[in-house]
C-alpha cells in the first residue's frame, strides 16, 4: 500500500521539542524515518514458503511513514504539527499517583498521528488527550477528516481550566488543510 495525499503546502519552520516525562508513560517505539515505499513484488504468503522462496527484501521500497510512534507531550503554547491522522487505538498506560507514588495501568483511547516535517520526512506520534482524541474522532465520524488522507494542522493552545471541576486540560486548535 502506498500513502497518497491530496494536499500541497509549505510548512513554516518549527523548533524541535524535547519530550518530558508526563503522568502517562506509554511504551515508546521509535522508528527511523524511512524513504518512500511501494511494493514492487506480488503479494505472497511468507508462512507457506521455504526460506529460499522469500523475495529479496532489499529490493523493495520502504514505506513513507514509519510504523512505530513516540508519545507527544506539547511543551509550550503555540507548538504545532502538520500531518495526517493514521488511526485510533486503545493503549495501556502506566499512571503514577502523585500523592502515593503508586503505579497503576489504565487503558486510554489514543490518537496516532503522522507529522510531516519541513524536510518532508515523517515522524509518528501518539497522544491520549481526551479532548484531542475526542475532537479527531468526531471529525472522522462526521466525514470531515478521512484517516490517512486528510491533511490537518494541530496547534497546542495550552492548559485550560475545566468548567465542572478544579482540574485543567490541554486545549488544541485543529484545522483541515484543503
Residue-number span of the structural domain to which 162 is assigned: 46-177
- Is residue 85 over pLDDT 50? yes
Q: What percent of the chain has pLDDT over 70?
A: 71
Residue given cell 505472497 in the structure block: 44
DSSP state of 41: S
How much is the pLDDT for 53?
Answer: 76
Domain count, the chain: 1
28 in a structural domain = no
Beta carbons within 10 angstroms of residue 113's beta carbon: 22
- Structural domain includes residue 94: yes
CB-CB contact of 33 with 76 (8 Å): no
pTM of the model: 0.65
Are 126 and 154 in contact, with CB atoms under 8 Å apart? no
Cα–Cα distances (Å) from 165 to 46, 111, 139, in that order, read 54, 25, 26
Q: Is residue 118 part of a domain?
A: yes
Looking at the domain assignment, is residue 86 inside a domain?
Answer: yes
Q: Please tell me the least confidently modeled range out of 6-20, 136-150, 164-178.
A: 6-20
- 169, part of any domain: yes
The 8-class DSSP code of residue 33 comes to -
* Residue 31 located in a structural domain: no
Q: Per mean pLDDT, which range of 39-43, 52-56, 57-61, 73-77 is the poorest? A: 39-43
Cross-strand partners of 154: 81, 174
Residue 22: inside a domain, yes or no? no
Any idea which of 14-23, 33-42, 82-91, 137-146 has the lowest mean pLDDT?
14-23
User: What pLDDT score was predicted for residue 54?
Assistant: 83
Task: Report pLDDT for 44.
Answer: 60
Is 154 in contact with 140 (CB distance < 8 Å)?
Answer: no
Q: How many CB atoms lie within 10 A of CB 177?
A: 16
Q: Which of 53-62, 127-136, 142-151 has the lowest mean pLDDT?
A: 53-62
Amino acid at each position: 500500500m502506498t500513502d497518497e495525499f491530496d494536499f500541497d503546502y509549505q510548512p513554516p519552520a518549527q523548533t524541535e521539542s524535547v519530550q518530558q516525562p508526563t503522568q502517562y508513560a506509554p511504551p515508546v517505539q521509535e522508528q527511523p524515518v524511512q524513504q518512500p515505499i511501494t511494493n514492487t513484488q506480488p503479494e505472497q504468503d511468507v508462512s507457506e514458503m521455504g526460506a529460499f522462496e522469500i523475495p529479496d527484501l532489499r529490493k523493495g521500497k520502504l514505506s513513507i511513514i514509519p510504523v512505530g510512534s513516540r508519545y507527544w507531550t506539547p511543551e509550550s503554547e503555540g507548538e504545532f504539527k502538520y500531518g495526517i491522522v493514521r488511526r485510533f487505538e486503545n493503549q495501556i498506560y502506566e499512571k503514577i499517583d502523585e500523592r502515593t507514588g503508586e503505579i497503576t495501568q489504565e487503558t486510554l483511547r489514543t490518537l496516532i498521528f503522522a507529522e510531516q516535517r519541513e524536510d518532508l520526512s515523517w515522524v509518528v506520534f501518539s497522544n491520549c488527550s481526551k479532548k484531542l482524541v475526542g475532537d479527531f474522532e468526531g471529525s472522522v465520524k462526521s466525514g470531515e477528516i478521512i484517516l490517512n488522507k486528510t491533511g490537518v494542522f494541530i496547534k497546542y493552545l495550552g492548559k485550560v481550566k475545566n468548567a465542572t471541576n478544579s482540574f485543567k486540560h490541554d486545549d488544541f486548535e485543529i484545522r483541515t488543510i484543503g
